[in-house]
Chains A and B, each alone.
Chain A
């Protein structure tokens, strides 16, 4: 067994992996204001135009 798995139990590793998706909650979310101005392919649009 490697040094890493000797020191940390399999259960702890599994719990950490399961918790990973929740970390995304703490990321800065992209601007989703539907009225925000966006420039795409030369077009000057509202974000909601792209939905």
Chain B
């Protein structure tokens, strides 16, 4: 069932066991799982069926630190959530992403890749993915990795009919849960705002917060403040360890030999470091996106090379005559070191139309990440030399220690951390089952539970974790 307003929902007699906040990939996946298990669920979606400027305005906020996207642009507030502007790139976190890195504090998850692997067939079905391919090592340092470019499932569109037909799932649109009330052991109710005014409280036995990688922290911070710690009793880490995937063009490459890898249908290939290389250099994970450049784009690159290595430039020119696929841009996205100082705070001066403080995002890239970017390109360049596959040129700003460019992508619109998973209650918010520490009936879904970000796009892992949480709750509630 889908209701376009809270008023329409109240007109029917539907008692929910579980209340899910948010209808993005995590919320919708958990709702479908619980509904299929016969558990009555209400999904409260703050936005409507379509994009609107008025709804997006609730997401405005400020960023302190490094340049970042406007917070009302980097996510979407309507049915299906941010899947509505997702590019569809899919890959699960690497198995080593779940392990602690001795050289990077506060890394490591309380679960492993093996805990989500059983859910991957289900994820493939939801996201319409082909089979996952194992990574292909092209040297001791570099792996050619698979990044599936999927049809980019819009969860609101794909599952609208199914949810509308469901007798166990009620999706209630334009209904904003402004806060949760709790007594330090249980969430009692969600306070609602609908049709421009307070709409009372909604009660359920279980609550699952799936409002996105920024909004989850905002809602819980505000709820906790209002209920004097009654919603997140162990709140030291709440809002902290927020992460993105910074993304910059780090250089170019001249390629003569494609025997070690293939480019995809959009002339791209992706590379990451081996675990041994990361450990040896004490760097984070990263992904190099190699984008083939059309033939004219290589001329300036060869001219530049000719100044440094004339014979090499001649060799490249010869290769050009044999093979036109030979120049590439190298974009690098990398894993951020999880830092408590990168955090979501509540604004002290600015509130949204419902009176909830807006987000103040504190975010800076670290020196470890800068070294990851530079050493990563050196690793890739060295691999191309050793294998005689081509040559890499590192961008001047990076090679010369300059500032990050401000006219590039900046990051991936991937909002991770803030309610991270863990066993240490001073450094995490939820346990390995995504249950908030100290609370009996409050869970969190989505990438805010990520302990580390890895190098890949988060949606595949978000959906896998949502399938896992859906199964877990089905057992807990059904028992």
Which A residues fall within an 8 A CB radius of B?
37, 39-46, 49-51
In the bound complex, CA of A51 to CA of B304 (Å): 16
Are A45 and B382 within 8 A (Cβ)? no
Are B312 and A49 within 8 A (Cβ)? yes
Tell me whether B305 is interfacial, beta carbon within 8 Å: yes
Tell me whether B385 is interfacial, beta carbon within 8 Å: yes
Are B309 and A43 within 8 A (Cβ)? yes
Stretch at the interface among B255-263, B354-362, B388-396: B388-396
Are B392 and A43 within 8 A (Cβ)? yes
Are A44 and B311 within 8 A (Cβ)? no
Tell me whether B275 is interfacial, beta carbon within 8 Å: no
Interface residues as binary, B17-55 with A (CB distance below 8 Å gives 1, 0 otherwise): 000000000000000000000000000000000000000
Tell me whether B182 is interfacial, beta carbon within 8 Å: no
Q: Give residues 95-151 of B contacting A (CB, 8 Å).
A: none
In the complex, which residues of chain A have a beta carbon less than 8 angstroms from the beta carbon of B378?
39, 44
B283 CB → nearest A CB, Å = 16
In the complex, which residues of chain A have a beta carbon less than 8 angstroms from the beta carbon of B251?
42
In the bound complex, CA of A7 to CA of B399 (Å): 56
Are A43 and B382 within 8 A (Cβ)? no
Given contacts A42-B393, A50-B312, 16 further A-B contacts (CB under 8 A): A39-B378, A39-B394, A39-B399, A41-B307, A41-B393, A42-B394, A42-B395, A42-B399, A43-B392, A44-B378, A44-B381, A44-B382, A44-B391, A44-B394, A45-B308, A49-B312
Are B392 and A44 within 8 A (Cβ)? yes
Are B311 and A51 within 8 A (Cβ)? yes
In the complex, which residues of chain B have a beta carbon less than 8 angstroms from the beta carbon of A46?
385
**What are 14 A-B contacts with C-beta separation under 8 Å?**
A37-B382, A37-B386, A39-B378, A39-B394, A39-B399, A40-B309, A42-B251, A42-B394, A42-B396, A43-B392, A43-B393, A44-B392, A44-B394, A50-B308
Residue of A nearest to B398 (CB): A42
In the complex, which residues of chain A have a beta carbon less than 8 angstroms from the beta carbon of B392?
43-44
A49 CB → nearest B CB, Å = 4
Prevailing SS type, chain A contact patch: strand
Residue of B nearest to A36 (CB): B385
In the bound complex, CA of A39 to CA of B382 (Å): 10
In the complex, which residues of chain B have a beta carbon less than 8 angstroms from the beta carbon of A44?
377-378, 381-382, 384-385, 391-394
Residue of B nearest to A40 (CB): B308
Residue with the highest number of chain A CB atoms closer than 10 Å, among B377, B381, B396: B381
In the complex, which residues of chain B have a beta carbon less than 8 angstroms from the beta carbon of A40?
308-309
In the complex, which residues of chain A have a beta carbon less than 8 angstroms from the beta carbon of B395?
42
In the complex, which residues of chain A have a beta carbon less than 8 angstroms from the beta carbon of B399?
39, 42
Residue of A nearest to B395 (CB): A42
In the complex, which residues of chain B have a beta carbon less than 8 angstroms from the beta carbon of A51?
311
In the bound complex, CA of A43 to CA of B384 (Å): 12
Q: Given A37-B382, A44-B378, A44-B381, decide whether A49 and B311 contact each other with a Cβ distance below 8 A.
A: yes
In the bound complex, CA of A9 to CA of B129 (Å): 89
In the bound complex, CA of A50 to CA of B315 (Å): 12
Are A45 and B385 within 8 A (Cβ)? yes
In the bound complex, CA of A45 to CA of B309 (Å): 9
Residue of B nearest to A44 (CB): B381
Contact of A37 among B311, B312, B385 (CB under 8 A): B385
